[in-house]
């Protein structure tokens, strides 16, 4: 598929929009359907498209396997860390009310942080699994 | 009265189709020997459970649980939605562990067909303990 | 209208599931499974679960299909014809029919579909719908329940997803290996 001009240009044009859509789904999740889970999967879809057209090696230079593996762990840590921060601030684990002066704003910050953790984990996990399945059998 | 009867039938219809899909997935799982096909069957089974939950959360005439200004608005139950939303993502994560296992089995045995794997395993057992092959007969 | 869409989508899902049982080319099976996911996403939209529909469309019809195709490229796409005897094919069918009959009997006791008075719609669900706007301040109740009211639950799910990635890394991380020392084909010829 290396020679297909339409595919190569099409994928290059589409990928940023898919990433932008993923971020929209993530940050607009409070007001419309969406959230970290969906956004993480859509974000991976952009890179899957690039892998299909440009090949695994080219994409792994942009998005190294070690980086996505770290993402998977960082997301869980961000989620759990939010809970620890609220505990240190004197509330229950994952009780977001204390994150800001106004409880409602605290809830907003808390949901934002937690959803960001979900986004990063889902992105890292799906990309890791895809890399492992797609990269298998090439090194033989 | 007529619409009441219709909604009654439709309600059971939802549950019955869900049971049908569940049993189709179950049938693929236990009757097919190919490991990838089994995973597809598991997915069908899993999705049917999602449909059961979402059907239970539906309220006739309700709307999606995103708050609007109308105080009279009737919302469907958001709780099953939350449970199933996370279950879908966990489902694909566990499915991919299954796929990884299938890939490793293919590399180790050269096949993903259950009966062929069993034959190879039986052959290995026979070489380790020849007496067992005699017990099993021809 | 909603009811008609519901009936049609469920009928299509049943037809797709029968196709999944019968087709032996695994590429076709995986594509059909993608269609199955997309149809169920449509069904979830009709049943007011827009967040779930979104997830199912992105995960079931999108990433899941890609991962299955990636695995098929490694294990081959032909399913072997079943070589079992007649009795072995009847047994799964009997198990499925009996279990299905028991489940249909169980649905008789389920509360009527779509009734707002069903017990499942009260207690916590009422609290979420009435208090989300004051307590959390976001309009999407699903997001509020997911990230705030049931934050522990979601954290557990996130951890499970992470654990799955660790599992795949452990299984496939070592690079491709050949079949183990040719032991398998040798034993095959011995057993014959």
* Domain final residue, candidates C32, C66, C81: C81
Q: Is residue B13 within 8 Å of B51, Cβ to Cβ?
A: no
As a whole number of angstroms, the distance between CA C82 and CA C91 comes to 14
Q: Is C190 within the bounds of a domain?
A: no
Which tens digits make up the pLDDT trace of A24-79? Answer: 999 888 888 888 899 999 999 999 999 988 888 889 998 999 999 999 999 999 99
Other Cβ atoms within 10 Å of C28 Cβ, number? 13
- The answer to whether residue A136 neighbours chain B at the CB level (below 8 Å) is yes
The DSSP letter of residue B59 is B
- How confident is the prediction for chain A on average, in pLDDT? 88
Query: C74 and C128: one domain?
Result: no
As a whole number of angstroms, the distance between CA C113 and CA A117 comes to 36
Instruction: For chain C, list the contacting chains (3+ Cβ pairs, <8 Å).
Output: A, B
Q: Which of residues 58-97 of C touch B (CB under 8 A)?
A: 59-60, 63-64, 67-68, 70-72, 74-76, 79-80, 82-84, 89, 92-93, 95-97
According to the model, what pLDDT value does residue B133 have? 54
Mean pLDDT within B5-34: 84
Buried b (16+ CB within 10 A) or exposed e, A24-39: ebbbebbebbbbbbbb
Domains in chain C: how many in total? 2
According to the model, what pLDDT value does residue C134 have? 78
Phi, psi (deg, nearest 5) at residue B34: -75, 130
Tell me the domain boundaries of chain B: 2-136
Compute the half-sphere exposure of residue C187: CA atoms within 13 Å on the CB side of its CA. 22
Buried b (16+ CB within 10 A) or exposed e, A110-124: bbbbbbbbbbbbbbb
According to the model, what pLDDT value does residue B102 have? 92
Q: What contacts C75, CB < 8 A, 6 or more positions away?
A: B35, B36, B102, B103, B106, B112
As a whole number of angstroms, the distance between CA C57 and CA C52 comes to 8
As a whole number of angstroms, the distance between CA A133 and CA B42 comes to 20
According to the model, what pLDDT value does residue A104 have? 82
As a whole number of angstroms, the distance between CA C172 and CA A69 comes to 14
Q: Is residue B26 within 8 Å of C94, Cβ to Cβ?
A: no
* Domain final residue, candidates C81, C101, C135: C81
**Number of residues written out for chain B:** 138
Q: Is C112 within the bounds of a domain?
A: no
Phi, psi (deg, nearest 5) at residue B63: -130, 170
According to the model, what pLDDT value does residue B10 have? 61
As a whole number of angstroms, the distance between CA A44 and CA A127 comes to 6
The CATH label, of 2.40.110.10, 3.30.2000.20, 1.10.287.3510, 3.40.50.720, for the domain at B2-136 is 1.10.287.3510
According to the model, what pLDDT value does residue A123 have? 94
Q: Is C86 within the bounds of a domain?
A: no
According to the model, what pLDDT value does residue B14 have? 85
Which has the higher per-residue pLDDT, B11 or C60?
C60
Q: Is residue A98 within 8 Å of A89, Cβ to Cβ?
A: yes
According to the model, what pLDDT value does residue A45 have? 92
Q: Tell me the pLDDT of chain C (192 aa) as tens digits.
A: 778 888 899 999 999 999 999 888 999 999 999 999 999 999 999 988 899 999 999 998 889 999 999 999 888 877 777 665 555 678 889 999 999 999 988 888 888 787 777 877 877 887 888 777 777 778 888 888 888 888 888 999 999 999 999 999 999 886 544 444 433 343 333 333
Query: C62 and C137: one domain?
Result: no
Q: Which of residues 114-133 of A touch C (CB under 8 A)?
A: 114-115, 117-118, 121-122, 124-126, 128-130, 132-133
Q: Is C12 within the bounds of a domain?
A: yes
Which has the higher per-residue pLDDT, B62 or C159?
C159
- Assigned token pair, C99: 């279990």
Q: Is C89 within the bounds of a domain?
A: no
Q: Is residue B85 within 8 Å of A33, Cβ to Cβ?
A: no
Which tens digits make up the pLDDT trace of B23-56? Answer: 999 999 998 888 999 999 999 999 999 999 998 8
According to the model, what pLDDT value does residue C114 have? 76
- Tell me if A31 and B93 make a contact (CB, 8 A cut-off): no
Q: Is residue A60 within 8 Å of A76, Cβ to Cβ?
A: no
As a whole number of angstroms, the distance between CA B107 and CA A137 comes to 10
Q: Is C88 within the bounds of a domain?
A: no
Burial class (CB in 10 A: 0-12, 13-18, 19+), C118: middle
Residues of A in contact with B85 (CB under 8 A): 35, 37
Query: Which residue is associated with the tokens 């997803």?
Result: C161
Give me the helix-helix angle, A103-135 and A65-88, nearest 10°.
160
- Assigned token pair, C110: 């389920």
Which has the higher per-residue pLDDT, A56 or B128?
A56
- Assigned token pair, C11: 């009928």
Instruction: For chain B, list the contacting chains (3+ Cβ pairs, <8 Å).
Output: A, C
Burial class (CB in 10 A: 0-12, 13-18, 19+), C174: exposed
According to the model, what pLDDT value does residue A137 have? 67
Residues of C in contact with A79 (CB under 8 A): 154-155, 158
According to the model, what pLDDT value does residue C84 have? 58
Q: Is residue B65 within 8 Å of C143, Cβ to Cβ?
A: no
Residues of A in contact with C170 (CB under 8 A): none
- Assigned token pair, C114: 């779509």
**In terms of residue numbers, what domain contains C162?**
118-174
Q: Tell me what ipTM this predicted complex has.
A: 0.89
**Per-residue pLDDT for A140 more than 80?**
no
Residues of A in contact with B92 (CB under 8 A): 126
Helices (H), ranges, A5-92: 5-27, 36-54, 56-62, 65-88
Distances (CA, A) of C100 to B12, B33, B127, C112: 14, 22, 43, 20
Interface A-B, measured as beta-carbon pairs within 8 A, has a size of: 22
């Amino acid at each position: 598929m290396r020679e297909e001009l339409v595919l190569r240009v099409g994928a290059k044009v589409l990928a940023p929009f898919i990433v932008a859509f993923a971020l929209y789904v993530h940050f607009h999740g409070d007001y419309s359907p969406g959230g970290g889970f969906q956004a993480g999967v859509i974000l991976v879809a952009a890179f899957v498209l690039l892998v299909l057209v440009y090949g695994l090696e080219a994409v792994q230079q942009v998005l190294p396997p070690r980086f996505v593996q770290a993402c998977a762990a960082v997301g869980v840590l961000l989620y759990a860390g939010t809970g620890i921060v609220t505990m240190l601030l004197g509330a229950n684990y994952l009780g977001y009310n204390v994150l800001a002066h106004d409880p409602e704003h605290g809830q907003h910050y808390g949901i934002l942080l937690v959803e960001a953790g979900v986004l990063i984990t889902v992105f890292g996990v799906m990309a890791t699994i895809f890399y492992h399945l797609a990269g298998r059998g090439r090194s033989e | 009265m007529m619409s009441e009867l219709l909604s009654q039938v439709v309600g059971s219809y939802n549950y019955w189709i869900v049971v049908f899909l569940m049993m189709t997935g179950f049938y693929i799982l236990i009757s097919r020997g190919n490991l990838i096909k089994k995973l597809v069957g598991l997915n069908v089974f899993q999705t049917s459970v999602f449909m059961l939950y979402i059907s239970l959360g539906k309220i006739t005439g309700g709307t999606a649980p995103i708050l609007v200004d109308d105080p009279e608005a009737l919302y469907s139950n958001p709780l099953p939605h939350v449970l199933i939303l996370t279950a879908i993502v966990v489902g694909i994560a566990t499915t991919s562990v299954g796929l990884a296992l299938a890939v490793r089995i293919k590399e180790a045995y050269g096949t993903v067909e259950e009966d062929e794997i069993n034959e190879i395993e039986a052959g290995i057992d026979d070489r380790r303990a020849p007496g067992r092959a005699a017990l099993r007969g021809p | 209208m909603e009811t008609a869409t519901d009936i049609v989508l469920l009928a299509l899902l049943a037809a797709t599931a029968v196709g999944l049982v019968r087709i032996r080319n695994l590429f076709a099976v995986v594509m059909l499974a993608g269609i199955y996911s997309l149809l169920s996403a449509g069904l979830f939209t009709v049943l007011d679960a827009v967040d779930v529909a979104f997830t199912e469309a992105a995960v079931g019809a999108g990433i899941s299909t890609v991962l299955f195709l990636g695995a098929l490229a490694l294990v081959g796409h032909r399913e072997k014809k079943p070589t079992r005897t007649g009795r072995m094919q009847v047994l799964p069918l009997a198990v499925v029919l009996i279990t299905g009959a028991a489940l249909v009997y169980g649905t008789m006791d389920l509360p009527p579909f779509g009734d707002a008075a069903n017990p499942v719609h009260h207690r916590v669900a009422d609290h979420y719908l009435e208090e989300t706007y004051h307590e959390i301040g976001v309009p999407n109740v699903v997001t509020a329940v997911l990230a705030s009211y049931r934050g522990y639950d979601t954290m557990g799910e996130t951890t499970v997803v992470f654990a799955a990635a660790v599992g795949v890394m452990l299984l496939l991380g070592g690079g491709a290996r050949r079949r183990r020392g040719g032991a398998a084909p040798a034993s095959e010829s011995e057993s014959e």
